[in-house]
Each structure stands twice: as structure tokens, then as C-alpha cells.
Structure 1
């Protein structure tokens, strides 16, 4: 067999050194890669050493060290990002015009809730929250998200079950939202979910599709009834106060007239008493004075004289014109 003078010969010792060096470099690279992790401003990190929690969560942003090769493991939790759970519907795309996907069977079953008066309401709602305790959120409950969804359904059914269908569909929505939020926060604190509720929104509340048309007819009739009642009340408020004002004015005028008549009568009575007192002192003189005053009033003439014509006849006169016309003003 011929020898090949140009054949490359590898020293086994050098090869071993190269392999060991490559492994060492690889281990160093892996060690460096698994020794650092990054925490963003909106995140908190939890570090586990051999699966056991090491202490306080890491809240400072930037690069952080941990033991390599899987000795330490970290989990990142977003704590300032608003998260949302939807019930009875799902958002297909959010934006300027939010689009909602068609409901599946599970969503329809979730949204149908029995009210306190044994009607059924189709309730779609969403719950917005943030994680305020990363450790509790990850480790206090086996699955915090599923537990929180179950709490939502239970609380919403409890609150709506205490109200009538009219309250749920009309005036009671804001109260329901607040009650559900308060109850959910209390349960989240009790189970240490590490969640802070921000808002509960009743997205849409309707009667079920099978009775929606009939319900709308009833609702429209009730609205028309309320409108007519309000119109009648407005007319009542406009007419009745005016009538009461007119009645009060007439009553006051009548009272004033009565007072005037009484005062006039009282004055006449006082005058008569004075005349009678004078008459008792000098009957003949008083009688003549009254007679002359009366005759003077009767025979008063002049341009301003008003009343019936006054004619005096002289019974002893024998001429053709036995009268004195007192209405000519002296002419």
C-alpha cells in the first residue's frame, strides 16, 4: 500500500483540547445567556430557585442576574397593562371601529341569566383589571385567569338574580356594574388573586332573541304611555296654577269689595248717628237744614249737571207756560 506524503495527521491530544475548549466556550455562552433577564417598565419578575420562590418580586426595570443552567428560573408578569375578560361576546378587532365576532354556543350560554322575577336576560359584559401582585397571581391560585372568569359569572348571576327584568334592562345598569365590581374585588382579595378591578361594563343587555320582538312592542307601549302621562302632567302644571291664580284674584277682589261696602255702610251709619244727634238738639232747625240741602242737590243746574230732567209746575199759574225748566243752565 502506497504512502501519501501530503496526508494530514491530527494529534489526538490537540483534538481533545479543541473539543474540551469548544465545550467550555459553549457552556460559558449558555451560562451567560441563562444568567441574565430583562424587566420592562410595565413588568414585574418572579425568580424561582429549584422551583422555590426566592423572595421579593423584582420590580426595577433593566437587566438582572440569576443563577445559570436552570438553577434559577424567572417568570414575567405585566402589572400595569389593562387586561380584559369578555363574557357573552368576543372582540374580533379593536380600534376606531371595534368589530365583534359571532358568538359561539358557550358564549350564548354564559350570557343567559335568570332575573329575580324569573325572566331571562341576555347579558354581555366585560371586566377590566390589572395585576397588582405578581406572586399571588402566579402561585396563590392554580389558574388565576380561569378562577377569575368563574368568579365573574357567579357574581353577575347573583346580582342580576336579585333584580327584575325591567331594572336589568333599564334603570338598574349602573348599580349592577358597581355592585359586581365591589363583589368581585372582595372575592379577589379573599382568594388572593393579586388582581385589582378597574371597571365592569355591561356591554349589551337584551331579552333573548326568541322574545325580543314582543318585548320591544311592550317597551314601546310603555314609552308611549309615559310620554302621554308626561304631556298630561305638563298641561296640568300649565293650566291648574293659572286657574288657581285667577281664583285667588277673584277672591281677593271680592274681599276688597266686601270691605269697601262694609266701610261705606259704617260711614253712612256714623253720619246718620251724627245727624240724629244734631237733630235731637234742634229738631226744627235740623229738619229745615236737611230739607234745604236736599232741595239744593235736587235742583243743582249747570253744564256738569247729569241725571233726569227736572220740571217744576206752579199749580196756581193760569198761563200757557206754567213751568220752570231747570235744565237750561239759566238760559
Structure 2
């Protein structure tokens, strides 16, 4: 037995050490066999299209109920919440598709990612480069771009974060800054990709401008009632979910300790495309959303952070604030 193999056998069940080599470097491939990883990483168009059409069906039904029942609040309000979260959680197919794991074709992944970003107010072309660095430098201060948005340190900051207010401000500033060609603070975007990112963000803003112009020309509040308001209602739910992924986890390069998996209800897992299985995703980003539950059963004994629901995670976050 090699020194690394002996080390793995001695550290089984110890999240802070599992997956490490004897020299201290992390090796995710120590936790799954090559055969298991190959089987779990297979991309299947049927799963991608089925999930996307299911998500769009939720949007269609809840959006219709919201539009048709405005004024009848016992129906309209729940429909608005579901519709709003459905719009906000289009971030999930964007996330899956920027990894190019939802569909077999990279072109299909890129097209669906851009469409999902349009609905969720993200830009997939920018986010692909941003997110690549997040995976490369997860939780490493000064390198992980997600850490550029500080985690809340007291209750007031937490409430602002959960409300989505800081997200809206950041997205508006970020989109217009990129559209203006100001990418100096974006080291994760190489020079060769900058023109494409700028062009993509400009096109996205142009679509929004067209939708606003159409609403104004028709004298109808379509843009505000059916996109802006619902997305604002859905954001707090998405913020609570995303805040749970790494808050309170370690600041090192070990995905077993720097990332949290959260066990939640099927509707949330469905609209989030299994993103709650987040440690599994960070261990092996090649595994598509539909295979993450199977990966979870194989990997969960090694996890340091396995939470029983998003309410508990957020209660724990609040309890730990200064």
C-alpha cells in the first residue's frame, strides 16, 4: 500500500483529513472510484430538457395564477411567491449550464444559460468566468470572487442581505460597469474573453430596455408586475439558500469542510436543480444535477457540514452574528 493509500485508510470519517494526501494536498478523486465518477458524470439531454420544461411549467402556471387572480389575494399572494421564486431560481439552470453539464451539447448549455440569466438577472457569459474562479479558489480570501461580497457580521447586515437589496444594487452596478467596458477589477475574465462578455451584457440590457419600452408604449405595467416585482419577492428565498452554501465553513481548499450540503424538501430541490447537494457539486463539478442525489449517498459520510434544512442553517447564522 502506498503512503497516500495508507493515509486515506487512517483518515476515513474525518472530514478535516479525508481526501487529503499524505503530503497535505486535497484529492477529491480519492473519495469516488474512477468507474463511479464516470457513471455519475454522464450528461443526459432527456434529464436536462425534462428539468427545464418542468421549471418553465411551474413558472407558467404560477404566473398565470398571479396575473389572473390579482385582487383575490388568498390565491394571488401564494402564486406570486411561487412565481417569484421560480424566476429567481432560474439562477439554478444558469449555474448548471455554465458548468455545461445539463445537456450534451455545449452550444445548448450556453443558450439555455443565457436565457436563464435573462430571467434571473444574471449574465451567463460573465458568470461562467466568475464561477470558474469560485470553484478554483473556494473560500480562499483574496482569490474567491464570491468573498468580494462580505458575509453579514451583524443582524442588520443579514437582513439587508436576505432582502436582496445588496444583490440588486450589486447587479445593477455590475451590469452597467461591464456594459461600459470597465473590467479592470475582474481578473477572472481573460483579455480574450472580454469583448464577448461586454457584448453579452449589452445585449441583455437591451432586451430589458425593449421590455420596458413595450410596457410603456402599451400603457401597461407588464415589466414591473410580471418580472420586476415577482423577482424581488423571490430573491429573499434564493438569498437564504445561497447564503447557506459556504457561510460558517472553513477558509481552506478542502471541499469537505469549506462547503455545506443542505437537506431540504423536494420542491426546493427541484427548482434549485439539486444545488442543495452543494458539497457533492464542489467535490466533482462534472456530475450533472440529476446524479447529485446518487453522489450524495456515496459521499455524505465524509462531510463536515450537513444541515437539516435552510431555516436551521439561517437560524444558526443569525445566532452566530455579533
Q: TM bucket by the smaller chain?
A: under 0.3
The structure whose Rg is larger is 1
TM-score by structure 2 length?
0.20
TM-score by structure 1 length?
0.19
Higher relative contact order (CA 8 A, sep 6+): 2
Structure holding more strand per residue: 1
